[in-house]
Structure 1
Amino acid sequence: MGAKKNPPAPHASPDSVPHRVALVLTDNLPLFEVAIPCEVFGIARPDLHDPWYALTMVRGEPGGITTAGGLAPSSAAPLEALREMDTIVVPACERSLQLDRAAQEPLLTELRAAAARGARVASLCSGAYLLAQAGLLDGRDATTHWMNWEDFEASFPAVRLRRDVLFTSDSGVYTSAGTAAGVELCLELVREDFGDAVAASVARRMVVAERRGAAQSEYLESVGQPLPSDPVRHAMDWALKNLHAPIGPDAMARRARMSRRTLYRRFEAAAGTSPTQWLLERRIDAARRLLESTDLPVDRVAERAGIGTAANLRSHFARAVGMSPSAYRRARRRVPA
């Protein structure tokens, strides 16, 4: 992994060498996962940093390459171009590539060599399968789309699958959860290279949240996977309506009419996290909304979100979001660039 840079002046010297980013193309890959790196790395932003990135599309396999939307890139560099790159991004790939390691061996070899020489290697969504096949995730934290969790964990037992995050960063190797989580990961790479202010500016121009700070499990129900236990679902719905109250796992267990131990077991199976952590994440989300939409002082935000004191809110908020409640409020109310 290249050394982290201190936040530079808005304009670097004209003879500076741009950071080289490769976007690996495989056949039938999702169009959205191609568009994310193109938007973040492929558009010059001289008012933020000059030079910006130099983005190169690289052919990850032989033969014709067409996206799932039917677009065929007119040109792409050969696989060997990865040897000159500082960062390599591997988007989501179709199921056949997730299963057939032998067919991808030339790409896997290049990915191993790139990581060995210190290049950053990142995957979006199911692109984590290719990083895992290359052995780059063994003994490391990683994540992928929630629909792939069970299969991925069974296929790569040496990988520490994280179901509670939208992206991971572990010793120069990065992975992200499904689809839009790739935006967070790409912005994190910008943050490492050019600092918080530049990453925040890019996020505002894309009109996206810089850091959602949510667990992937938050999105399971919204995309059509109902929680398997009605009592647990009932307890969760009740808790969401009463976040301001001093309720915890014991109260949820009573609401679900089950023991605390049974609640924890069924809750983790359904939501991928504990009731305690789930409640804290929902309360942090409630605090974020209050900070964005009201002028309430921090102690009142903490109270209404069910976190208690301002000190508790500051502590939990900094760990979850990466900034203080006051800094978050200022950032979200800043006029977009």
Structure 2
Amino acid sequence: MDPHRVAVPVLDGMPLFEIGVVGEVFGMPRPDLLRRPYAVQVCTVGREPVRTQGARITITADAGLDQVRRADTVVVPALPSYDAKVPAELVDALREASRHGARVAAICTGAFALATAGLLDGRRATTHWMHAAALADRFPAVEVDPGVLYVVDGSVSTSAGTAAGLDLCLELVRHDHGTAVAAEVARRLVVPPHRQGGQAQYVSTPLPDTSSSALAPLLDWARSRLDQALTLRLLAREADVTTRTLTRRFTAELGMPPLQWLTSERVRRAQQLLEDTDLSVEEIARRCGLGTGANLRVHFVRQAGVTPSAYRAAFFAAPDVGPHRSNHLQVSQPPLG
């Protein structure tokens, strides 16, 4: 049986990891698993060697963009930068590959290449959360979803940053060979076959600098009392303003009303406690002022995209037990099926 041809177009300055992910998932021989093997071909514009970002490793490819045009699957790694110019030759090759029925995918900012080629018009897509707004702004015909790890929209797929490219590649294997095979490939890579949640759990959302704001004393006061019953009326009384005035100031300076800010702060505190302590979800909910574990879960999923338990599993830092603390990570093997 002819192999499934996977083309990986690379440009000078692309990150090495995103290129390597494609080779690791599709390029390793797995005759005991795959009904139809993959054949990965790295392709360059003009067949000139390229230097990767960071490690500055030189990649010499034996194929040009003609192989992109003839591929069964094309995976575009992250671009050198989200605003990098996409060569016209690559744009043409991507369009032709799509016209001929190829499955086209992008990792991280590779989505900008697909969007430049018009392949995301009218489709749902994603990219790294840091650049999702830029993608939506530059390509208004694309429905950008910044909260997910990857999107498969028909024959066109996109993923969030870096490791999410691995999630997407495993999803493509699942589509080709089934869930059991994808789970076994994940097992051999020592990664989960499917991660819970989306990018929201990884997004760093810095608070506005309010140190010089008239709200600063009130914010500090409220943060020190998150475990207490704080109402809009109580916040307004502490600030010595009307509830209407307080709401107007919060919206102008923080972009949200007071009680929404308060809930956001309580979820942030819950994240910290989930990372740093082994307190139960019920106890964390009480300490954050969210009352019950069920209430915490509702707000936590809404803000972080995963349940508190899933967040703890991903981010919990075990306490240091002394100078001989082990740095090994225990990995449970994912089940087949």
TM-score category by the smaller chain?
0.5 to 0.7
User: 2:52 aligned with 1:67, yes or no?
Assistant: yes
Counterparts of 2:247 and 2:105, CA distance in 1: 39
In the alignment, what sits opposite 1:81? 67
Verify the 8 A CA contact 1:166 1:216 in the aligned structure 2: no
| Closer, same or farther: CA 262–160 of 1 in aligned 2, 3 Å | farther
Question: Which of residues 190, 203, 220 in structure 2 aligns to 1:219?
Answer: 203
Question: Which of residues 122, 137, 141 in structure 2 aligns to 1:139?
Answer: 122
- For residue 49 of structure 2, give the secondary structure of its aligned residue in structure 1: coil
Q: Deviations over 1:94-143 (max 9, x none)?
A: 24x84435xx1121111111112221111111111111110111122222
- For residue 122 of structure 1, give the secondary structure of its aligned residue in structure 2: strand
Question: Which of residues 48, 57, 63 in structure 1 aligns to 2:42?
Answer: 57
In the alignment, what sits opposite 1:28? 13
User: 2:176 aligned with 1:156, yes or no?
Assistant: no
Counterparts of 2:252 and 2:33, CA distance in 1: 48
In the alignment, what sits opposite 1:194? 177
- For residue 114 of structure 1, give the secondary structure of its aligned residue in structure 2: helix
What does 1:312-323 correspond to in 2, within 5 Å? none
Counterparts of 2:25 and 2:104, CA distance in 1: 16
Amino acid at match of 1:57: V
Percent identity of paired positions between Structure 1 and Structure 2 = 38
Q: Alpha-carbon deviation of 1:88?
A: 0.3
Question: Which of residues 108, 114, 122 in structure 1 aligns to 2:105?
Answer: 122
Verify the 8 A CA contact 1:249 1:260 in the aligned structure 2: no
| Closer, same or farther: CA 113–197 of 1 in aligned 2, 3 Å | same
Q: Alpha-carbon deviation of 1:174?
A: 1.1
Counterparts of 1:167 and 1:55, CA distance in 2: 21
Verify the 8 A CA contact 1:18 1:51 in the aligned structure 2: yes
User: 2:163 aligned with 1:183, yes or no?
Assistant: no
Verify the 8 A CA contact 2:5 2:38 in the aligned structure 1: yes
Higher alpha-carbon Rg: 2
Amino acid at match of 1:80: D
Equivalences, count = 298
- For residue 182 of structure 2, give the secondary structure of its aligned residue in structure 1: helix
What does 1:288-299 correspond to in 2, within 5 Å? none
| Closer, same or farther: CA 174–336 of 1 in aligned 2, 3 Å | closer
| Closer, same or farther: CA 309–64 of 1 in aligned 2, 3 Å | closer
What does 1:35-54 correspond to in 2, within 5 Å? 35-54=20-39
Counterparts of 1:276 and 1:47, CA distance in 2: 54
- For residue 59 of structure 2, give the secondary structure of its aligned residue in structure 1: coil
Counterparts of 1:39 and 1:278, CA distance in 2: 39
- TM-score (normalised: structure 2): 0.65
Verify the 8 A CA contact 1:249 1:276 in the aligned structure 2: no
- Which stretches in structure 2 are left out of the alignment for 5+ residues? 240-244, 314-329
Counterparts of 2:22 and 2:107, CA distance in 1: 10
Verify the 8 A CA contact 2:48 2:60 in the aligned structure 1: no
| Closer, same or farther: CA 248–59 of 1 in aligned 2, 3 Å | farther
| Closer, same or farther: CA 333–150 of 1 in aligned 2, 3 Å | closer
| Closer, same or farther: CA 62–230 of 1 in aligned 2, 3 Å | farther
Identify the structure with the greater helix proportion.
1
Counterparts of 2:96 and 2:172, CA distance in 1: 20
Verify the 8 A CA contact 2:129 2:199 in the aligned structure 1: no
- Which stretches in structure 1 are left out of the alignment for 5+ residues? 1-14
Q: Deviations over 1:66-93 (max 9, x none)?
A: 2122222233312111232111000011
- For residue 137 of structure 1, give the secondary structure of its aligned residue in structure 2: coil
Question: Which of residues 171, 180, 185 in structure 1 aligns to 2:154?
Answer: 171
In the alignment, what sits opposite 2:324? none
- TM-score (normalised: structure 1): 0.65
In the alignment, what sits opposite 1:8? none
Counterparts of 1:52 and 1:202, CA distance in 2: 13
Counterparts of 2:96 and 2:263, CA distance in 1: 39
Counterparts of 2:46 and 2:291, CA distance in 1: 51
Verify the 8 A CA contact 1:26 1:61 in the aligned structure 2: no
User: 2:92 aligned with 1:91, yes or no?
Assistant: no
Question: Which of residues 186, 191, 199 in structure 2 aligns to 1:208?
Answer: 191
Q: Alpha-carbon deviation of 1:18?
A: 2.7
Verify the 8 A CA contact 1:98 1:130 in the aligned structure 2: no
